[in-house]
Amino acid sequence: MASAIWENERGTFLRVIVHPNSKEKRFIAEVTTEAIHINLKEPAREGRANSELLKKLSKALKISTSEISLVAGHKSREKTLLIMSVDANQIARKLLDETKAVKY
């Protein structure tokens, strides 16, 4: 079974499933063992949803956008992100905290 968050020598990887053009107010809809479900306001056009994903995730994790890179799924709803500065346990805690906070 795949995991939503894992580490290797390159850094920490996240498997996310994005929901572009979402009307939901929560940025992180759900964190499961398989994936992190993320609501985005931007449509999946011209990289706008990917850009929003990186900006909002960096804000949620309190890191720079330069520390997050999209390594797979540029044109897919399922994406793999690489974070070089934060370990998997810290990311999991921050994401779970974020699911409890509603963003308006």
pLDDT in tens, 72-85: 999 999 999 999 88
Provide the domain limits for residue 23: 5-100
Crossing angle for the helix pair 48-61 and 88-100, to the nearest 10 degrees: 100
**Number of domains observed in the structure of the chain:** 1
Which residue is it, tokens 């990311």?
Answer: 91
At residue 22, does pLDDT exceed 50?
yes
CATH no. for residue 73?
3.30.1200.10
The pLDDT tens digits of the residues spanning 39-55 come to: 999 998 888 999 999 99
Half-sphere exposure of 83 (CA within 13 A, CB side): 26
pTM: 0.84
Query: Would you say residue 37 has pLDDT above 90?
Result: yes
